[in-house]
Amino acid sequence: MAHFIDRRLNGKNKSAVNRQRFIRRYKQQIKQAVSDAISKRSVTDINSGEKVSIPGKDITEPFFHQGQGGHRERVHPGNDQFSTGDKIKRPQGGQGSGSGQGDASADGEGEDEFVFSISKDEYLDLLFEDLELPNLKKNQLDKLVQYKNVRAGFRSEGVPTNIDIVRSLQGSLARRVAMTAGKKRELHELQAQLARIEAEPVPDQHQLMALREQIALLEKRIDAVPFIDSFDLRFRNFQKRPEPTSKAVMFCLMDVSGSMDQATKDMAKRFYILLYMFLSRSYKNVDVVYIRHHTQAKEVDEQEFFYSQETGGTIVSSALKMMADIIKDRYDPAEWNIYAAQASDGDNWADDSPQCADLLAQQILPFVRYYAYIEITPRPHQSLWLEYEKLQQSFDNFAIQPIRQVADIYPVFRELFKKQAA
C-alpha cells in the first residue's frame, strides 16, 4: 500500500537554475548592491561571498487584488469584551489585522528590502563583469628565482661534515667481507687439517709446523684488512635547485589630496583588487603595503587608505621616497617579488615631477617586477604623466595607462599585464 523512497541522496541544488534566473533578472540591482558593497570590503578579501540587498518593490510579482476601503464583514476569534452593536475606533492602518486569507499582503508591497547572500563566485562575476575578465590562470608571471639546497643522493667525495655514517659503514662492512671471505675459508680448512693431524696418534711435527705457519700468515693478512678505508666513505650530496619565490609584496600608492573624490578612489580600489587577485593566483602569500600621500606620504592601513580624506597639495615624490625606503628596510628585492600600482588623478606639483622620474629610475624600477601607474581622470595629462611617459621608454617593467570610467579598468589591466603574460 505504501512504499518508501530515500531521496536524500538525490542531487542538491535543484533550485540552482531558478536562483541563476533570479540573479540574471535582477542583475542591474544586484550589481548596484555589489558596487556599493565594494566600499565595505577589504582589497585582500576575495574569498568570501557578499550579502546584497535590493529594493523589495522591484521584485514583487503584481496581481489583481483588493485594495482598502468598501464595506467588509470579518469574523475574529477570542471575543473578550464586545457586545453586539458596540462601536470601536478604527485601528491605525486601515482595515485592521486582516484575514487568514491574507493573499493581498502576503507578497505585496510590505517588504522594504530583499536581502540575501551571493557566493564568492557570483560576487566576483558580478564585480568584474564589465571588465571582461579573461582566464587569469593562463597568464604566468615570470617570477623571481631563488635557489634552494636539496638532497640529491650520495657521492664518494665531500667534506667531513657531510659524511653519512650508516652508508659509510655499510661500505666498510661490504669491503671487509669481500676482502676476507676467501682467506677465512682457507683458514678454516687449514685449522681443520691441523686439528686432524693433531688428533693422530703420532702427529707429523713437520707438517704441523708448516700448517701453523700458514695459519699465522693468513691471520695476519686478515687482520691487515682495515676496518674503514677512505674508499668506504660516503657523503651526502646536495644540489641547488632553482625555486621561484612565492613571496610577493604589492605596493598600493594613492594620491589622497582633495582632488581625489570617493568615486575615483573606488575605481582605484577595483584596480587594486584585480591586481591582488592576479598576484594571489601566482604567489602563495601577497603582502600589501598601502602608502597614501598628499604633500607627505604615510604608510597606513587599508581603511585609512581608502576612506580618510585629506586636503592639501600633492607631492608624489614623497610616496615614492617612502616606498623606496620600505623596500630597503623590509622587502629585500632578492627575496620578494615586488609589484606596485600607483593611482592618481594626475595632479602633482609641477617641480616635483622630474624628481619622481628620477626616484623611479634610480631607486625603484630596477628592483620591482612591475610598476603600474594609472591615471584616473577625464582631463588632459599633466606634468607627471609626461615625465612618466619618457621613463617608459627605458624600462619595460613600467606601464602607464589612463582610466576614464569603470569599464576601462579591465582593458587597461590587460594592457598593463600583456607583456608579463608568458
Sign of CA dihedral 40, 45, 51, 55: positive
Could you give the angle at the alpha carbon of 194 between the alpha carbons of 189 and 200, nearest 5°? 130
* In the complex, least distance from residue 55 CB atom to other proteins, rounded to whole angstroms: 13
- The amino acid occupying position 132 is E
Q: Does residue 97 interact with other proteins by CB under 8 A?
A: yes
Q: Which is nearer to other proteins, 77 or 380 (CB)?
A: 77
* In the complex, least distance from residue 105 CB atom to other proteins, rounded to whole angstroms: 10
Candidate list 113, 115, 243, 313; residue touching other proteins; CB under 8 A:
115
- For residues 333 and 370, the answer to whether their CB atoms sit within 8 Å is no
Q: Does residue 92 interact with other proteins by CB under 8 A?
A: no
- For residues 248 and 285, the answer to whether their CB atoms sit within 8 Å is yes
| DSSP sequence for 33-56 | HHHHHHTTS-TT--SS-EEEEEEG
Strands 370-376 and 337-344: parallel
Lay out the site mask for other proteins across 44-63 (x = CB under 8 A, - = otherwise): ---------------xxxxx
Q: Does residue 206 interact with other proteins by CB under 8 A?
A: no
Beta-carbon contacts of 182 under 8 Å, excluding residues fewer than 6 positions away, are none
Q: Which is nearer to other proteins, 70 or 242 (CB)?
A: 70
* In the complex, least distance from residue 132 CB atom to other proteins, rounded to whole angstroms: 21
* In the complex, least distance from residue 38 CB atom to other proteins, rounded to whole angstroms: 22
- For residues 168 and 232, the answer to whether their CB atoms sit within 8 Å is yes
Q: Does residue 90 interact with other proteins by CB under 8 A?
A: yes
Return the CA Rg of the chain: 42
Candidate list 40, 74, 220, 284; residue touching other proteins; CB under 8 A:
74
Q: Which is nearer to other proteins, 94 or 313 (CB)?
A: 94
Q: Which is nearer to other proteins, 81 or 205 (CB)?
A: 81
C-alpha distances out from residue 25 to 3, 7, 291, Å: 40, 31, 40
Candidate list 47, 88, 145, 151; residue touching other proteins; CB under 8 A:
88
Lay out the site mask for other proteins across 116-145 (x = CB under 8 A, - = otherwise): xx----------------------------
Q: Does residue 10 interact with other proteins by CB under 8 A?
A: yes
Q: Read off the DSSP letter of residue 363.
A: I
Candidate list 30, 34, 41, 114; residue touching other proteins; CB under 8 A:
114
| DSSP sequence for 190-255 | HHHHHHHHHHSSS--HHHHHHHHHHHHHHHHHHHHS-SS-GGG--EEEEEEEEEE--EEEEEEEEE
Q: Does residue 39 interact with other proteins by CB under 8 A?
A: no
Binding residues vs other proteins (CB under 8 A): 1-8, 10, 12, 14-15, 17-26, 59-80, 82-90, 95-104, 108-109, 114-117
